[in-house]
């Protein structure tokens, strides 16, 4: 009986410790359900009991994992490239906040190899982490090249209270359904690009055009890659804020059926009056869906926008701004976090 009492005490103490750590790690909280989180592992390079790198913690997770495993990442700067490989889904990466837990590297040249963070499997949660590609922001004199901070390649991702920092091609949001909430995304050229089906809610898009590097006259926020009328992809920005330095377009069409929607968002005077560029879809402007609805701020004046800017009713827009655009089956409500 005494042994059982000690066991119960240790187990209760362990749960209390995890709860205290959870409350310290970002504003999205684990809901405490033992049936949801099967295991918690910790990254702390200053404590011999724990993993020293983020990648070593990911490597410890078995292939074909089907249970949510939480990786608590202690505050600090982790100078490493991190990859979640195929077959290692159901990972919840939890940091201490975007100013506190930073994964940074400086690779560049190619969009598909330069990413500081790459995630392949489905079912991933990220909270309270900054992913940074230091190239072009660490040295403004370097020539502009693709330098990805994060490459998202799986389905059913929730990224909350996190940050993506770079200059060209910061966030490669390429495949799957993704929900970004209260995130900060910084860059200058096509810094949110790819073919994913994503909602960005309450996010801040920070321009650094004209500063890093100084030879760029104006930048572009999005380069969406929807390539057919049946492709479900598209970027939806809901209640977001655009701010920063320099001038930029809201987006340019990377592929023929590019789709980007800004809804109830605030634009500073950084946005160029023309707003958009057909780019790779020149001559096919009728296929492009670029929408601004209910936006405010100096940069939201559409009187000088491109003549082919999509005219959409509120009913049309709401089918994209509603979470059902990425979540018809209710996967977001089944996640082991509250946000």
DSSP letter (8 states) at residue 17: H
User: Which of 155, 173, 174, 190 does the annotation list as catalytic?
Assistant: 190
Which tokens hold the place of 49? 């009991």
User: Which of 155, 161, 165, 169 does the annotation list as catalytic?
Assistant: 169
Which tokens hold the place of 253? 């069409």
Binding region for substrate = 116, 252, 254
Binding region = 116, 252, 254
Rounded Cα gap, residues 177 and 157, in angstroms: 7
CA 145-151-156 angle, to 5 degrees, is 155
Is residue 277 annotated as a catalytic residue, yes or no?
Answer: no
Give the strand pairing for 101-105 and 76-79: parallel
Residue among 227, 228, 225, 163 nearest 198 (CA): 225
Is residue 59 annotated as a catalytic residue, yes or no?
Answer: no
Residues of 33-43 as b/e, b for ≥16 C-beta within 10 angstroms?
eeebbeebbbb
DSSP letter (8 states) at residue 322: S
Residue among 139, 72, 130 nearest 104 (CA): 130
Residue among 241, 122, 114 nearest 183 (CA): 241
The set of catalytic residues is: 169, 190
């Amino acid at each position: 009986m005494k042994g059982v009492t000690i066991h119960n005490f240790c187990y209760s103490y362990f749960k209390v410790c995890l709860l205290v750590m959870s409350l310290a790690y970002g504003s999205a909280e684990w809901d405490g359900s033992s049936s949801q989180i099967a295991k918690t592992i910790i990254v702390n390079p200053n404590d011999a009991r724990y993993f020293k790198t983020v990648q070593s913690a990911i490597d410890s997770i078995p292939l074909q994992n089907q249970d949510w495993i939480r990786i608590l990442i202690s505050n600090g700067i982790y100078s490493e490239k991190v990859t979640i490989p195929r077959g290692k889904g159901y990972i919840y990466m939890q940091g201490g906040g975007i100013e506190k837990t930073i994964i940074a590297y400086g690779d560049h040249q190619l969009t598909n190899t330069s990413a500081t963070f790459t995630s392949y499997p489905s079912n991933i949660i990220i909270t309270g982490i900054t992913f940074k590609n230091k190239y072009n922001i660490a040295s403004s004199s370097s020539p502009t090249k693709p330098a990805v901070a994060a490459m998202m390649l799986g389905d059913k991702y929730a990224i909350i209270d996190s940050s993506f920092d770079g200059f060209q091609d910061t966030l490669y949001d390429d495949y799957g359904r993704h929900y970004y909430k209260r995130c900060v995304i910084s860059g200058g050229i096509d810094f949110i690009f790819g073919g994913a089906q994503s909602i960005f809610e309450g996010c801040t898009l920070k321009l650094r055009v004209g500063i890093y590097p100084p030879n760029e006259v104006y930048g572009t926020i999005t380069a969406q890659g929807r390539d057919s009328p049946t492709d479900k992809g598209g970027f939806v920005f809901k209640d977001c804020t655009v701010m920063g330095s320099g001038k930029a377009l809201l987006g340019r069409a990377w592929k023929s059926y590019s789709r980007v929607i800004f809804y109830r968002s605030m634009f500073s005077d950084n946005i160029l009056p023309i707003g958009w560029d057909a780019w790779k879809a020149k001559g096919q402007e009728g296929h492009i869906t670029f929408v601004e609805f209910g936006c405010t701020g100096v940069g939201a004046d559409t009187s000088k926008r491109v003549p082919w800017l999509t005219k959409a009713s509120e009913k049309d827009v709401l089918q994209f701004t509603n979470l059902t655009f990425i979540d018809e089956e209710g996967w977001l409500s089944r996640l082991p976090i509250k946000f």
